[in-house]
Amino acid sequence: MPHSYRALHLVARPEGELRDDVLELRTGDLPDLGDGQLRVAVRFVSIDPAMRIWMTEQKSYWPPVPLGEVMRAQAIGEVVESRNAKFPVGAWVSGMLGVRDALVSDGKGLKAFDPKLLPDPSWALSVFGATGLTAYFGLTDIGAIKAGDVVVVSAAAGAVGSAAVQIAKFMGCRVVALAGGPAKCAYVKDTLGADEVIDYKLGDIGKALSAACPDGIDVYFDNVGGEILDAVLKRLRMRARIVLCGGISQYGAGKDAKGPANYLQLISMRGRMEGFVIIDYLDRADEALAALGKMAMAGKLTSKVDVVEGLDHFAEALRRVLSGKNFGKQLLKV
């Protein structure tokens, strides 16, 4: 049984483009198991845009990762040794395991799942994990979508965005999706089923939105902030809802992050703009998983993953997400 581990520690706060040297690969020894403990071999680490914020001193829903600590990350792994009846050898678990290849845990904060119920264990980090839950609760709880709504989704070829497109379509909405480049736009339309797709990199986003949503927008599921959020604000329907899921266009900007200029439209359109964080919904996970399971059974839910291999390629994997090179849920295979 391997008692050593490798882990990626945060050793400096990034500024501007994320560099490899803000992280350091360290090795160490894990202890023998005590009563109630288990040893986990980590298989996949989830790469999330918000990690760029957690590396800084910026205030967010998680405190900054302290310098010298293992980089925080959601991950899945297999139990390879156990003295905890709840998590026997061979069980798969998910949780905030960090960017490392092995750990000893007392089981607190871990959730067991059955990989045989999924097309691939990695789905526990994509549509059947926080990604799918974020799209589901963002749309249904914050966005209060209903059949017939015009729903706009940004970063629609990405992990959360692609789930949001499929859920909104399944619930009878008309979906207008934004993505960057022809390959992603084709995927969003042909595979995910969006009604209209806008390649936001081609220029006048406002004009494209007006053409795709001539009667305005009921719900905007915002993953990016910035210019796209401003263009949507100008085209709201009465009682529109803006779901603030993320603002990836501003994550590297620190205190220079730009807010929306057109927010006064919310007043005249009696609209609402509300942020949310998925950790507040974890006690309702079963509700979302049941709905997503139904969609999957009906053949209406697919998931694409984009895998980078090796702990030492973590920074590269995160840069892919921040620059749009990822196509699907970005994972790091350990």
Give the binding site for ligand NDP (CB under 6 A): 48-50, 130, 134, 155, 157-161, 179-180, 184, 223-224, 245-246, 248-249, 276-278, 321, 324, 326, 330
> Beta strands 217-222 and 150-153: pairing type?
parallel
Is 27 strand, coil or helix? strand
Measure the CA–CA gap between 295 and 289, rounded to whole angstroms: 10
Q: Tokens 């760029």 belong to which residue?
A: 52
Question: How far, in whole angstroms, is CA 191 from its chain's centroid?
Answer: 19
Name the phi and psi angles at 186, rounded to 5. Answer: -65, -40
Q: Tokens 């050593």 belong to which residue?
A: 4
Q: How far is CA 122 from CA 8, 22, 131, 189, in A?
A: 21, 27, 12, 24
Measure the CA–CA gap between 11 and 49, rounded to whole angstroms: 19
